Amino acid sequence: QLSVFNYPPSIGPTYRDLLPTPPPPGDVPSCAEGGVLGVLPGTMGCLQATEVLKIILGRSPNEICTGRVLIYDALQMKFGEIHLTRQSDREMITELIDYQGFCAGPKTTTQPSKQQQSLTSTT
């Protein structure tokens, strides 16, 4: 998925307009756990770079992927989009939450093996 959030500044929709409540830490799998097709980061990175250049060049917001989410289906080789509007009653985002827990992926509840414990205790 691709979108430019909060553009134009203080006018365009924000990430919280798309996902009003962040998931609890540990509920979102990491890329390693969830799996990512190797070419996807390159494809999406090129699309992101294109949007950055359009903003730097001062292109019209109508030409920028704001107010919509571009969805790329690599298996079907199709693009789709959903429209997104700014919620005027939403509180302004003034600080970010700690996303460390989100990047770490789901929490494991298993205990370390004896081999792992012995490696830890010898180092």
Sorting pLDDT into bands at 50, 70 and 90, what band is 76?
very high
Cα(22)–Cα(29) distance, integer angstroms: 14
pLDDT above 70 for 19? yes
Residue carrying the six token digits 């997104």: 84
pLDDT above 90 for 81? yes
Q: Taking the mean position of all CA atoms in its chain, how far away is CA 95?
A: 17
Say whether pTM exceeds 0.75. no
Task: Classify 115 in phi/psi space as left (phi over 0), alpha (psi -120 to 50) or beta.
Answer: alpha
pLDDT above 80 for 82? yes
Say which residue, 30 or 54, is predicted with more confidence.
54
* Mean pLDDT to the nearest integer, 12-38: 80
